[in-house]
Structure 1
Amino acid sequence: MTYPFLKGHGTENDFVLLPDHDGSVHGDLSADRVRALCDRRAGIGGDGVLRVIRTTAIEAGRGQDAEWFMDYHNHDGSLSEMCGNGIRVFARHLVEEGLADGSAPIPVGTRDGVKVLTLSDGPDGLVTADLGTPTVLGATEVSVPGHTWTAQHVDMGNPHAVAFVDDLDDAGPLLEAPAHDPAVYPAGVNVEFVLRRGPRHVAMRVHERGSGETRSCGTGACAVMVATALADGAPRGTAYTIDLPGGTLSITWTQDDRVLMTGPALIVARGTTAL
């Protein structure tokens, strides 16, 4: 069986998109198929898979006030509640395929509820995602060989541990998940290492659960912004610039307690596969 796919990325966090509007192409998308698609040598390659499906066609989306649901799977085949870069790419695909009107905000269902995306009018390809209200859960600890840091536990619909470091290289090669408290993060955690670059400006690296180190993590950048704004005592509405290996995101924690992330989203290829 062959089926269509697309490839897209947001700040080089890349995804395989699978159109499956009524759920008849992939059924229960298997972890084996996800891993095959994401394989960078034998497959298409990606940090994860975004299945494009209507909310009425998947149990996790039923009852959500949106037509489309982002069925997100990590590189290793596991499910995740949210993906900040992925949902911008998802919205870009909906508009380019005529499945949504880009002149108005676009609601998209996720395992963390409905998120709203707004596309810019300009040629820069920027998309703003309203990722909702963050949950700040206190201090925890993460470590890599030779280093241990206190980290801020922030939930953006998925779990994050944000650690401020003196040098991003201190995180090491990040070939394995940083050590963390399994009682705090029983399902694993995305770990962000953060270096200050100036007022309202930081750089970061991230190890994502289920994917390893990636070039960018949208929800991770939002967690970093929240942790940094709290550390700075910054007033709500202050915009922060977050540099990632794959690009730059602009993030604001609004007066009404919502996190808005703005960054690029591109579809770069399409085809059919039998993987």
Structure 2
Amino acid sequence: MTFPWLKGHGTENDFVLLPDHDGTVHGQLDGAFVAALCDRRRGIGADGVMRVVRTSASGESPGGGAGPWAAKSTAGEWFMDYRNHDGSLGEMCGNGVRVLALYLLTEGLVDAGAPIVIGTRAGDKTVTVEGDGMFSVDMGVAEVRGTSKITAAGRTWEAQDIRTGNPHAVAFVDSLTDAGPLLDAPEHDTETYPEGVNVEFVVRSGLQHVAMRVHERGSGETRSCGTGACAVGLAAALADGAERPVTYQVDVPGGTLHVTCTEDDHLILTGPAEIVARGDMEWLA
């Protein structure tokens, strides 16, 4: 059979969207197929795949779920079934959820005048349309843990352990080149991060302004990471002792994101989303 697909990105963190509103192909979306689809030479090419499905048909009802994370969605009609570049399951994606919201809007599947609630394996995320292609996502309250060590290019740094839906290790460095080419995942403490970790290398660029590189588990170095930008913004605010609410500009290789730490400890991620292509493919199960 043929199956529709779309290609979108948020600050050049790119995704293949697979509309599966009624959950008819859930059993066929295996890791090998996702990895082949994400291959930049033999497939469509992407950092990850999002299956767009109604929560009721997702196979991941509240309190249940597949894989190492239980779905926590309670209010969203739509669920983001996110898969990493290598086909592994992911909790959610901060850049991807904006792209998914844009898809739902352009297809007329949600009310254009209301906040959009999207279920993920990391709980419901509420997306607000800001205009001019910009979206804000309430990413919820992050969990700030201790520190660990990460190693890349023969150097080791202390990193802040922050969970923003996904696990992150945030290391402040002197230069973004210090970590080397990041062809391989930085070494990390497997007891702290048994499921792997996204690693951010951060430099300060000015007042409430930082820049970062990221190696995402299951995807490699990417042009941007939304949950990573949230972790970086929070780590910078904590290091600065910043009074809240406060907003940090986070520059990524693919553009610019803004992270607001609210008075009630929520993180609001603001950035662009674009859909750049669509088509149909033959489904080879």
Q: TM-score, normalised by structure 2?
A: 0.94
State the alpha-carbon separation in 1 of the partners of residues 232 and 265 from structure 2: 15
> Helix, strand or coil: the match of 1:34?
helix
SS state at 1:15 partner: strand
Percent identity (aligned): 64
Q: Structure 2: which amino acid aligns with 1:180?
A: H
Q: CA deviation at 1:59?
A: 2.7
In structure 2, stretches of 5+ residues that fail to align are 63-72
Match of 2:85 in 1: 75
CA displacement, residues 148-195 of structure 1 (integer Å, 9 cap, x when unaligned): 100000000110000000010011000000000000000100000000
Q: How far 1:60 moved relative to its partner?
A: 1.9
* Aligned residue runs from structure 1 range 1-275, under 5 A: 1-62=1-62, 64-120=74-130, 122=131, 124-274=132-282
Supply the AA of the counterpart residue of 1:204: M
Distance in 2 between the 1:148 and 1:228 partners? 19
* Contact preservation (8 Å) 2:10, 2:272: yes
- Name the aligned partner's letter for residue 23 of structure 2: G
Which region of structure 1 is more displaced relative to structure 2, 25-34 or 13-22?
Answer: 25-34
SS at 1:163 equivalent: strand
C-alpha contact (below 8 Å) 2:16/2:50 kept by paired residues: yes
Q: Residue 26 of structure 1: CA displacement?
A: 4.1
| Partner Cα separation in structure 2 for residue 257 and residue 28 of structure 1 | 39
Contact 2:153 2:178 in 1 (8 A): no
**Letter paired with 1:107:** V
How far apart are the structure 2 equivalents of 1:28 and 1:242? Answer: 37
Q: Is the 8 A contact 1:61 1:110 kept in 2?
A: no
- The SS at the match of 2:111 is coil
**Cα contact 1:61–1:69 (8 A) shared by 2:** no
TM-score (norm 1): 0.97
Structure 2 counterpart of 1:79, which letter?
Answer: L
Q: What is the CA-CA distance between 1:36 and the residue it aligns to?
A: 1.2
Once superposed, which parts of structure 1, at least 4 consecutive aligned residues long, lie more than 6 Å away? none
Q: Could you tell which deviates more after superposition, 42-51 or 143-152?
A: 143-152
| Structure 2 Cα separation of the partners of residues 56 and 88 of structure 1 | 21
Does the residue aligned with 1:168 lie in a helix, a strand or coil? coil
Instruction: Confirm or deny: 8 A CA contact 2:39 2:45 kept in the other structure.
Output: yes
Q: Tell whether the 8 Å contact from 1:102 to 1:118 is kept in structure 2 after alignment.
A: no
Check whether the contact 2:99–2:273 (CA below 8 A) recurs between aligned residues: yes
- Distance (whole Å) between structure 2 residues aligned to residue 149 and residue 47 of structure 1: 26
